[in-house]
């Protein structure tokens, strides 16, 4: 079986305006790496139907799983569910089981279950609900697209419901060697080592600390013995981890 | 003149693997908002030529300016310059002026100007160099694509060189009212207010703090008087800022 892959679509003006720094993509990336489903692309688009439809359509053809965050709340700028229905060419309406989850939640919490809140029970036809243990309003999976909330702890709770249902691949292992040299000094031998291990991915990430250049050399792969062997060679070349 | 727009392309496996949390997109978003060039889309792709070419080609047709970060260093995984040359259908080679900048930098710092470092003088034909006051290796602008480093303080320094050369639009102003209520309680009147001010963009961003739901209501627009008027109405509806 080929290794499954994933893409992320972050929906919302607040990230693109610089008002909020994304944390969902960062969280998802780490979880997927552990689950053996590498994230191969991420996109961030504004609350605009055509942009959401175009991104979902492109990404779902390209990877095994697409995860979205944002735009499923009760306000006028929450348009993700409608955009997903358009992308899949299906209808959308208030669904009884989703409505019942919300009605029970608001009855328990003593809050009014008003028309705006009922909007969160609008689910594209044929979708499977994703549990929201925090505020009840469900996410949903439509084909290979998993639609989740933008509030980080709700996003994380929904992801915890979805991930165990997906077939993972071999977890991607990684080891890092930090060296107190600029990239330019290690580039040639590091590139030669990468060429010797074509099944591994090797990356070099420079940084500046207290005015001095340093580099993180990262070796990634699914075969732990190969990663260990390559790291031993790297340590022999450049020092101790 | 129509309002200019921008897109960001973050290049590199380290963001998608969850190893590093992006900061360049967040920084760029804030700077562009102040400069009146709204960021309308961001993408993150891995160090893969076909992915970079596809993203650059799509984004540069879609917005006024594309900004990229990452992949212009001396190591084997730094393939951005070559991918940009492919995307524009032009040649690429070591350029004398870029080479001279690097040679002078390494002479000053007493470091060896080796073959790996000379790779950073490879510039697509016809590009305009972007100054790098920190580590000399230049970025470049090719058409409407501005190619910059991934190390955050170098990215920021390069952006400071490029931004003043671009024609900005009217800066996007924003005001926020934080309310101690869930989105569902404010959704209907907030949506009605948004419909009354079609030139403004209004967004609602829920959060959970100490177990209680709250919402940030954000009004954005380029006309300060309209933003003020809408905020006054919002305060009358929901409380004081």
SS (H, E, C) A169-185: CCCCEEEEEEECCCHHH
Half-sphere exposure of A65 (CA within 13 A, CB side): 24
Q: What is the pTM of this model?
A: 0.91
Cβ atoms within 10 Å of B107's Cβ, excluding its own: 10
For residue B241, pLDDT over 60 is answered with no
Q: Which fold has domain A6-165?
A: Molybdenum Cofactor Biosythetic Enzyme; Chain A (3.40.980)
Q: Is the pLDDT of residue A240 over 70?
A: no
Q: Does 3.30.200 match the CATH number of domain B173-238?
A: no
Average pLDDT, chain B: 93
Whether A177 contacts A216, CB under 8 Å: yes
Nearest to A208 among B15, B153, B174 (CB): B153
Cβ within 8 Å, pair B115-A188: yes
Interface membership of A210 toward B (CB under 8 Å): no
Instruction: Give alpha helix (H) positions in chain B.
Output: 13-16, 24-35, 49-62, 80-88, 96-109, 115-118, 152-162, 183-196, 224-238
How many other CB atoms are there within 10 angstroms of residue B16's CB atom?
28
Token readout for B115 is 């073959």
For residue A22, list chain B residues with Cβ-Cβ distance below 8 A: 22, 25-26
What's the gap in Å between the CA of B151 and the closest CA on chain A?
Answer: 6
What does A128-195 look like in DSSP terms, one character per residue? EEE--TTT---EEEETTEEEE-SSHHHHHHHHHHHGGGS---PPPEEEEEEESS-HHHHHHHHHHHHH
Query: Has residue B210 got a pLDDT over 60?
Result: yes
Q: What is the pLDDT of residues B48-77, one digit of tens each?
A: 999 999 999 999 999 999 999 999 999 999
Contact A77/B115, CB-based, under 8 Å? no
pLDDT, tens digit (0-9, with 9 covering 90-100), for A23-74: 999 999 999 998 999 999 999 999 999 999 999 999 999 999 999 999 999 9
Residues 15-34, chain A, touching B (beta carbon < 8 A): 15-23, 25-33
| A96: pLDDT strictly greater than 80 | yes
DSSP element (H, E) containing A90 = none
pLDDT band for A91, please (50, 70, 90 cuts). very high
Show me where the domains of chain A are located.
6-165, 173-238
pLDDT at residue A4, rounded to an integer: 93
Average pLDDT, chain A: 93
Which A residues 148-207 touch B at CB under 8 Å?
A: 150-151, 153-154, 172, 174, 182-188, 190-191, 194-195, 201-207
> Which tens digit of pLDDT belongs to each residue from A108-148?
988 899 999 999 999 999 999 999 999 899 999 999 999 99
């Amino acid at each position: 079986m080929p290794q499954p892959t994933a893409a992320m679509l972050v929906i919302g003006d607040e990230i693109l305006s610089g008002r909020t720094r994304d944390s969902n993509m960062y969280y998802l990336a780490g979880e997927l790496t552990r689950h053996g489903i590498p994230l191969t692309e991420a996109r961030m688009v504004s609350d605009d139907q055509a942009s959401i439809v175009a991104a979902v359509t492109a990404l779902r053809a390209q990877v095994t799983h697409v995860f979205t965050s944002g735009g499923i709340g009760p306000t006028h700028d929450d348009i993700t569910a409608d955009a997903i229905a358009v992308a899949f060419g299906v209808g959308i309406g208030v669904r009884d089981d989703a409505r019942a989850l919300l009605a029970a939640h608001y009855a328990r919490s003593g809050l009014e279950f008003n028309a705006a809140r009922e909007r969160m029970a609008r689910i594209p036809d044929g979708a499977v609900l994703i549990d929201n243990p925090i505020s009840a309003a469900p996410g949903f999976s439509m084909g290979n697209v998993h639609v989740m909330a933008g509030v980080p702890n709700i996003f994380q709770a929904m992801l915890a419901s979805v991930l165990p249902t997906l077939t993972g691949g071999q977890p991607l292992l990684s080891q890092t060697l930090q060296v107190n040299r600029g990239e330019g000094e290690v580039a040639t031998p590091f590139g030669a080592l990468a060429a010797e291990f074509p099944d591994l991915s090797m990356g070099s990430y420079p940084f500046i600390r207290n005015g001095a250049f340093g580099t993180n050399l990262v070796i990634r792969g699914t075969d732990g013995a190969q990663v260990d062997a390559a790291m031993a060679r790297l340590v022999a070349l450049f020092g101790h981890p």
